[in-house]
Structure 1
């Protein structure tokens, strides 16, 4: 009797299968030997020390957001380049770097958060580097771990439906954590990668296709946000599994020691917060 494929083609578009697969590869990462990781690192491209952030309107940057951005300034002493985009400079960058489809897709992004989602994929795919949200505050020197090799680095997340809230990061890595009523996925903050990583290439293509479809009001999370990136990662990781190849990405276990997202910021109470516009 032939075993049924638990992840058939197109599984990434089903939330239940995508969540189950992300859970599987999260636990699989715990089993990867140090030797295997080191073998992969020898051949992988490096992640450039290039930091990219986004705020849609530079003439109206809240002071509390500015303080978050400035917490990263000390990385200049470690040789980082800094790239700060707004709506206008992002549109110009995409026009200069990509084609007509990407320019049109960016124009269809209806909210600053969506435009930020799209720009981060475009920039890190083309240039490589580290993207962090404007409301992230740098805490310590744990960022150095991210640059030790050239694997894509992403943060795993888990939403507890019953509790209507996010689970603590440490809980995600528990092998005995029940999966019922929980959605496992990856965040699109942070994103650290060398240029031309296949997951980002797939994520940008998928987002562009959705933005240029007939749906004029696409949902942010699944179109350009974490849902989109999770779908791209799932397809890529499954292809590596089937080819018996090592993963060229890493799910971060301790991002909260590197940076902290500040929730008590002034803009979160108005329409600059996409959750207030889309009811999420």
Structure 2
């Protein structure tokens, strides 16, 4: 297999991944697991060459659909990032109206129509983050994330897109601990490996985001009147785009221009016990079809 530095460890580097494999959840999961282990074997993250797309700008992107109905507990999460102002960060907090205006001014009719078909704030948030990061770059975090220490500096050390790996354990209906995802001996049966779309750090124009936005737009404008959130705009969509992109780089023997974050949980944490999670503002409460 090929490491992120581009060297080969064996003849099976491209693996059993046929064209379009990223649309198969089992194959996509296996590939992301493979990516995780290959990154684990790399020497040091600092050895990664620049991708040539430019540094990640210190721009913090967040979204809350209705600024007139911002819960105090969510506001406290947002405020935890305020100290980055002294580090030269630009802050952007979008809502439904400003997000639609941004997409209309920056993209075309298809993207505006796709955004209009996002039927829940979570979908609009998913779609907006791809649009802003692709056009301008920066760091996106969810409104319920709380900044912890100074580890955020590592996210900006080079120009690679950075996302967090996740693993869902089907038998227990729960998430695998972040540290355990990197264990080479972690059993894979009954588990789904993927990447989260929170956080996303990227320079403008990154090809993974370009592919993710195009895939999401096509699905939103397709025949399904109620496309599933995760696969259409959320982590499933980003995972498919990243897997396809990484595989193309493997075939070309190019070094990866992305990184899976080892320690995001030490940089920021998600606050789960927030008031909005108990009502329709939480996408998981939309109905049984959105699980």
What is the TM-score with the length of structure 1 in the denominator? 0.97
Q: 1:89 to 1:223 in 2, by over 3 A?
A: same
Counterpart CA distance in 1 for 2:186 and 2:22 is: 22
Counterpart CA distance in 2 for 1:159 and 1:42 is: 31
Indicate yes or no: 2:124 matched with 1:110. no
**Alignment partner, residue 96 of structure 2:** 87
Query: Which of these residues, 123, 144, 151, is aligned with residue 142 of structure 1?
Result: 151
TM superposition outliers: structure 1 runs of 4+ over 4 Å = 2-5
Q: Which residues of 2 match residues 1-280 of structure 1 at below 5 A?
A: 6-34=16-44, 37-38=46-47, 40-41=49-50, 43=52, 45-279=54-288, 280=291
8 A Cα contact 1:44 1:149, kept in partner: no
What does the per-residue CA deviation read over 1:32-84, in whole Å, with 9 as the maximum and x for residues that have no partner?
223x8435138452000000100000000000000000000000000000000
8 A Cα contact 2:163 2:195, kept in partner: yes
Counterpart CA distance in 1 for 2:54 and 2:47 is: 13
How far is 1:5 from its partner? 5.3
Q: Determine helix, strand or coil for the equivalent of 1:278.
A: coil
Q: Determine helix, strand or coil for the equivalent of 2:197.
A: coil
Q: Determine helix, strand or coil for the equivalent of 1:23.
A: helix
How far is 1:30 from its partner? 1.1
Counterpart CA distance in 2 for 1:135 and 1:5 is: 38
Counterpart CA distance in 1 for 2:35 and 2:48 is: 19
8 A Cα contact 2:30 2:193, kept in partner: yes
Counterpart CA distance in 1 for 2:53 and 2:220 is: 32
What is the TM-score with the length of structure 2 in the denominator? 0.93
Q: Provide the alpha-carbon RMSD of the alignment.
A: 1.5
What does the per-residue CA deviation read over 1:112-149, in whole Å, with 9 as the maximum and x for residues that have no partner?
00000000000000000000000000000000000000
Higher helix fraction (1 or 2): 1
8 A Cα contact 1:158 1:166, kept in partner: yes
8 A Cα contact 2:138 2:201, kept in partner: yes
What does the per-residue CA deviation read over 1:179-198, in whole Å, with 9 as the maximum and x for residues that have no partner?
00000000000000000000
Q: Determine helix, strand or coil for the equivalent of 2:18.
A: coil
Q: Determine helix, strand or coil for the equivalent of 1:218.
A: coil
8 A Cα contact 1:68 1:135, kept in partner: yes
| Equivalent residues, number | 278
